[in-house]
Amino acid sequence: MSCQHLVCAQCAHPVIEGRCAVCRANRERMHNHGFAGLSPALIVGLLLALLFLTLVLKHLSGL
């Protein structure tokens, strides 16, 4: 969901404009994606790196 088409109940203006404190807080909350401030792409990249590292360690321990 995006805040482009949402109207603030406090000031009756589009939330995307951030005219009041309520608009700004909701806009920030809606634009905060990911886990612990990390973007979804970064999380996927970290998981792939962990998978690769696990496979390398498993392969090395089998030698």
> For 7-32, how does the pLDDT look when each residue is reduced to its tens digit (9 = 90+)?
888 899 988 888 899 988 888 887 76
Query: Token digits for 25?
Result: 């807080």
**CA atoms of 12 and 9, how far apart (whole Å):** 5
Interatomic CA distance for residues 52 and 56, integer angstroms = 6
What's the whole-number average pLDDT of the chain?
A: 84
User: pTM score, two decimals?
Assistant: 0.47
Instruction: Report DSSP state, residue 40.
Output: H
Sequence ranges of the domains in the chain: 1-32, 36-63
